[in-house]
Amino acid sequence: ELQRAGRRVYLSVGPHDRPPRAYRERDFCWWLGVLGKWDAQAPAPGTEHVTIAVSGARGGQTIDFRRLAAQGMTLVGRTESYRHGVMTFAPDLAKNIARGDANYMSVLDEADAYVARNGLDLPPEPEARKIGPDPRCMTDPILELNLSEAEIGSIIWATGFTVDYNWLKVDVFDERGKPKHQRGVSTEPGIYFLGLPWQSRRGSSFIWGVWHDAQHVADHISTQRKYLAYHASAKRETKVA
Which of 60, 90, 86 is CA-nearest to residue 75? 90
List pLDDT tens digits, range 39-56.
888 777 766 667 888 888
pTM of the model: 0.79
Question: In this structure, are residues 94 and 141 in contact, taking their beta carbons and an 8 Å threshold?
Answer: yes
pLDDT of 203: 87
CA distances to 82, 100, 132, 210 from 21, in Å: 33, 14, 17, 21
pLDDT band at 209 (very low <50, low <70, confident <90, very high): confident
DSSP category for residue 133: P
pLDDT band at 70 (very low <50, low <70, confident <90, very high): very high
pLDDT of 234: 73
pLDDT of 237: 67
Per the prediction, the chain carries an average pLDDT of 90
pLDDT of 239: 66
pLDDT of 49: 64
- The amino acid that residue 54 corresponds to is V
Better-predicted residue by pLDDT, 89 or 198:
89
List pLDDT tens digits, range 155-191.
998 877 788 899 999 999 999 889 999 999 998 999 9
pLDDT band at 91 (very low <50, low <70, confident <90, very high): very high
DSSP category for residue 140: S
